[in-house]
Structure 1
């Protein structure tokens, strides 16, 4: 397994006049409030350990005061830790000298701020080109590249405008273009969309996802909004009082909250919009590989269901009922299976959002086959699974679900 692009090891931050002196209290397990009362020092981060992979969107989320913005400012050393190690591509950032740190910030990481951070006296084009000019790129080249990125984020034609002439969403697009223009490998986004109106915020989220599909940047995204975290994150770390209380893939956090704090976060999330078929589908156990009616019936006798999925070397072909096979058997037991015997059940894709497949799932007599882009049978989606995931307090174990006994339908 490749080494993570960014590694955070045993990171602590204690704010105050003499943090080193009081770190013993932190290691003794004293609470944030106890340390503040005894020392007038504030515990910002406690024993943070993270591995962030190249090309992923890693979301750090938590409520106000949880330490998420403090943490992101450690990656480019806007804040230095009291203890701990931060490695980027194996290099300990804490060991960089002043000149090395300047080069690191200019070339390795870019940042998008909540309040845009644009220079009001410079045009949109000049704002986007600013990072390149700091890097020493010639003005003509910097402006040319800036124009390209403005077009990419949908702001072609706004080059000569000033930030005050733009809407909030447009200003944030300028900030995003400026960060991307430097071609930094790592993008830090601190509550980048939280100051925007809901509709504009949703559009910016969509644009970030679309850009990431092309650019494959390593993005560290800070938010207090779980819906935003679930929509954007490949993985999520949730902070509380400076500690990571859970980290994992979105569906893991949604279906298996590790603490009461996380459970309170996920309680009101619309799972139908947050989960995909792939995260809750079951293994397609009832495969039929025979090519004749008699062979198919023989295989179905080993099932505890009255249906099966026809699968050949070419992939999924259709779903058949036992009753229809038995009728065909009486007519000609040696006949080949044909699509005339298949049920009219539309397969669904693994990446489909649950909300989009609920009607088909409820209308079908049998579990919906889940078929991937290659035409292979990847799983099945049952009404029982939907009821369990969307309507029950019980969280099914992703990847190892129990079979729905109530899904069996009559022929």
Structure 2
């Protein structure tokens, strides 16, 4: 069971950029960060409109004087306070991630950033070097990776329950943008604007989640990939609203990744299936408490979260409530924020023993996601040619 007694002596003072009124992601960050007592939100620059941002922060219970008009003002003023923030959430559109994260690291803050991390691997790696130099934690918010059953799947793969891995299929393919919803949705509009979203739409918004999940479960290294992108709503070009990626892994396994916002009739369809020479597993985020396990020649099994037959020695498989009760999206996010809190404490205490065994989606995961996007754009622009992933060249 989850250990609710694992708490800091004092909550980590937290600031937030973006995620203001009406933002689902902003709410997810705030409620998950404060869930287990590791973090306390004390400051923010929540909105491009300073008055609206201050009103929003005040309604959340923050001191109006700590609801700032922009991130630069927040960083400058908080640095002068004896009780200034120690960590910063970056929950803004993609184009701002690099500048805000860099400024936060230079101010000596720990950073929790939305994905995709940056527009280029070079930018992401600069942040990695800066975080290392400053000895700051840098987490990238792949929120779905907090679900316990994904870590059960990872443990099964590592223990050889599936045998030698042969194939992986990952997808995140909803249908909510199968029409031109951006004409009346500000949230959709910026995601389809290359100046704000970057060189991709669904690959960056959805595909990076699937790719991180693939890396989390299998630890396979991509050798090369090819990508085909479409803009089924023509006004979205040059950004794609559908993409298929073919993957070749080092060692011979192969994979596919499908990212789409035009899969009409689909709610989410975020799934991952891993196939070995002995068995297969499949996880679907619309039923996150179950894992399908199929051994060749045997009946299909449905494994449930919280059951005694799961592997128990991996702390990431922990459960907040007993099996049969559904844990969901905010629980997964809270699981990650709990780990961020443990990691931050360990860094402050120079506790390398804890840090060496603690998993959380860090900046390396963010760099890998950015490299995926660079390769996919390059491949699609060259008639779906194969492109070397070659992440080691950037490390």
Normalised by the shorter chain, which TM-score bucket? under 0.3
Structure with the larger RCO, 1 or 2 (CA within 8 Å, 6+ apart): 2
